[in-house]
Amino acid sequence: MNLDDIGEFGFIARIRKRAGSCADLVLGIGDDCAVSRLKPGELLLTSTDLLIEDVHFRRAWSDLKTLGRKSVSVNVSDVAAMGGRPFSLYLGLGIPAGWTLEELDAFADGVVEACAAYGAVLAGGDTCRSPGPLFISVTVEGRVPEGELVSRAGARPGDLLWVSGSLGDSALALRELLAGRRPDVQSAARHHDPCARVALGRALAAQGLATSMIDVSDGLLADLGHLLDSSAVGARVARAALPVSSFFRAALREDPSLMDLALSGGEDYELLFTSPPEQAAAVSALVANGVAVTQIGHILPQDDGLQLVDAQGNPCPLPRSGFDHFG
C-alpha cells in the first residue's frame, strides 16, 4: 500500500495510534498544538535537530526502524546533556515520492519505540512531500528541576574533565561505510543506533556532581571547545586516557592514526562533563545503565587554551576540530 492511498490525514491517524500517551501530556497528536503540563519548580528544555538523507545518513546503510530510533536518540542526547529527562518529541517528515506505507510504518515504529525507551511520547509533528531527499526534523522537550540544570558554562579551573562510555566507535563505522566496506557489528550499532545517556545525565545533575556538561556530537575536541568557550576556561586532555572500546583498540593496533576518530570523529553521543576534584570518588563510582565514566583531563585557566598531551605529558598536535556543515 502506498501513502497516496490513505492520504496525509490517514497517515497522521496511523501514527497517532502508535504514539501512546503519558500523564503530563494533556493533548497529543490531533489538535493545533500539543499541550503539556510541567511540575512546579521544573524548567523546560527544548532542542531541535535536522537529519537529511545523504547529509546525515544514507538509506542503504541502515534499516528505517533504526533510522527512526537514531532520529530520536540524537535529539534526546541534548536533553541528557543538561541533566534533564525528555517527555515529548515532535517529528517533521518531508517524504520523497514512492515511499511505501510499510517503510513509513517501520520508521514510525522506530521513533515511537525510542521515545518509549526514554520515557517520552511522540506528541506532534508535520508531514509533507519532499521534492528532494528525505528530510527529518525532530524537536524534543524535556524537564529538569530548577536547581539541577547543568549548562556548558560552569567549568572552573581545577575541575576534572570526564567523558562517558567510549569514543570513536561511531566514526570508525562511518569510515568503513564511506570506504564501501562493511563495519563490524559493534561499531555499526554505535553509529546507526546510538543511545542517549539520560540516566547518567540525570544522576550527575541530581547529585550535583557536574559543573558543566555537553554531549559529544561534533567530536570530542570540537564539543570540548564549545564547553571551554561557554565557561571561559582552558583544558588539558590526556590522549592516553581517552576511553575506547575493545574493538576500537583492536583497530587502533593496526592503524594508530585512528586515534583521531576518538578525538574528532563525532556522533559519539557520550556526555563530556566537568566536576570539582573533591567529587572524583563519587563521579568514578557512577555507573548509570552500565555506562562508566573516565577522567580524561582537567580544566585550566582560559589563557592556557586547549592542550592535548601524550602519555609522557608532552604536547601533541591537535587534529582537525570536528565536523562543520559549511566549513
Among 67, 69, 72, 90, contact with a second copy (rule: CB under 8 A): 90
DSSP, res 38: P
24 is in an annotated binding site: no
> How many angstroms separate the CA atoms of 263 and 168, rounded?
7
Q: Which of 21, 58, 119, 129 binds a second copy (CB under 8 A)?
A: 129
- The reply to whether 294 sits in an annotated binding site is no
Site string for a second copy, 139-168 (x = CB under 8 A): x-xx---x--x-xxx---------------
**Near a second copy in 56-75, by CB under 8 A:** 56
CB of 186 to a second copy, least distance (A): 26
Q: Tell me whether residue 47 is annotated as binding.
A: yes
One residue of 135, 156, 305, 318 binding a second copy per CB under 8 A: 135
**From 86-94, 112-120, 262-270, 296-304, span contacting a second copy (CB under 8 A):** 86-94
Residue 297 and residue 236 in contact, taking contact as beta carbons nearer than 8 Å: yes
217 is in an annotated binding site: yes
Q: In this structure, which amino acid lies at residue 218?
A: D
**Residue 125 annotated as binding site:** yes
Q: Which residues contact 23 (CB under 8 A, 6 or more apart)?
A: none
Contact pick of 15, 19, 29, 49 for a second copy (by CB under 8 A): 49
- Candidates 17, 21, 26, 301: give the one binding a second copy (CB under 8 A): 26
CB of 100 within 8 A of CB of 59? Answer: no
Q: Is 327 annotated as a binding residue?
A: no
Measured between alpha carbons, how far is 247 from 173 in angstroms, rounded to an integer? 11
First to last CA, the chain: 42
Q: Which of 27, 24, 118, 31 is nearest to 71 (CA)?
A: 118
Q: Which of 17, 21, 31, 207 binds a second copy (CB under 8 A)?
A: 31
85 binds a second copy (CB under 8 A): no
Q: Does 181 bind a second copy (CB under 8 A)?
A: no
Full DSSP string of 155-210: --TT-EEEEES-SSHHHHHHHHHHTTPPPPHHHHHHHHS----HHHHHHHHHTT--
> From residue 200 to residue 219, what is the string marking binding to a second copy with x (rule CB under 8 A)?
-------------xxx----
Min CB(71)–a second copy separation in Å: 12
246 is known to lie in a ligand binding site: no
Please, which contacts does 184-189 make with residues 24 or more away whose CB atoms are closer than 8 Å? 184/247, 186/245, 186/247, 187/245, 187/247, 187/248
Residue from 22, 27, 241, 318 touching a second copy (CB under 8 A): that is: 27
Half-sphere exposure of 57 (CA within 13 A, CB side): 24
Which set of grid coordinates corresponds to residue 145?
528541576
In the complex, the smallest distance separating the C-beta of residue 117 from a second copy, rounded to whole angstroms, is: 19
Q: In the set 17, 21, 44, 315, which binds a second copy (CB under 8 A)?
A: 44
Q: For residues 234 and 300, is the Cβ–Cβ distance under 8 A?
A: yes
The answer to whether 46 is annotated as binding is: no
For residue 69, the minimal CB distance to a second copy (Å) is 19
Cα 106 from Cα 113, distance rounded (Å): 10
- Applying CB under 8 A, which part among 138-146, 159-167, 250-258, 278-286 lies near a second copy? 138-146
Binding residue per annotation — 32?
A: yes
Detail the residues annotated as belonging to a binding site for substrate: 56, 267, 323
